[in-house]
Amino acid sequence: MKSIEIMVQEHENIRRMLKVLREISYRIMTNGHYDLDDLPEIIDFVRNYADKLHHGKEEDILFEAMNAQIEKLAKSGAITGMYIEHDQGRLFIANLESGYKSFKEGNDRARLDIIGNSIAYTDLLDRHIEKENTALYRFAENMLPDEIKTKVDSDCDKVESEAINAGTQARYLNMLQLMEDKYKPE
């Protein structure tokens, strides 16, 4: 399925940003060189590229189709688990944002909130991505009827086209490259 190929590539891009976030966390912990104001940029990437664009396609299109068409998965709770992990990730990012604001206002102890929520988020998402890439997406490709696969691809293609026209991918992939260049492990 073309939509799943795109989602797997998006996963790789998200994982690249997870590495950046871990590197910034390490530098905050060790008083290394970092720009605190890069955190809102990363939060923006997570909320708009990872969550709105990517998770939006998963939740609103793929998971919805899988829940309706694959009774075994719907009953097992596998897809519900993916929704729960998406929500956990949103909580970690909200807490990261709160920690950033508090740290920026001079609360040195808030560095714990930045580091803790960053590491919790990166660990959750890395494991989550692995489950989707190796299990859930394969179930979709193997178990969804062809006409549903075609509809999922078509619906995802519409979302992709709108995002391309809005410059979403270009903006966030450029941001990702700049962050990677800036935060190569020291």
Predicted pLDDT of residue 185:
84
Q: For a pLDDT cut of 90, what percent of the chain falls above it?
A: 94
Q: Has residue 70 got a pLDDT over 80?
A: yes
Give dist(CA 105, CA 90) in Å, integer: 23
The first and second tokens of residue 131, run together, are 């489950």
- Is CATH 1.20.120.520 what the domain over 2-182 is classified as, yes or no? yes
Predicted pLDDT of residue 94:
98
pTM over 0.75: yes
Q: Is 25 exposed, middle or buried (0-12, 13-18, 19+ CB in 10 A)?
A: buried
Give dist(CA 40, CA 96) in Å, integer: 9
The first and second tokens of residue 130, run together, are 């692995």
Q: pLDDT tens across 93-114, in order? A: 999 999 999 999 999 999 999 9
Q: Which amino acid is at 67?
A: N
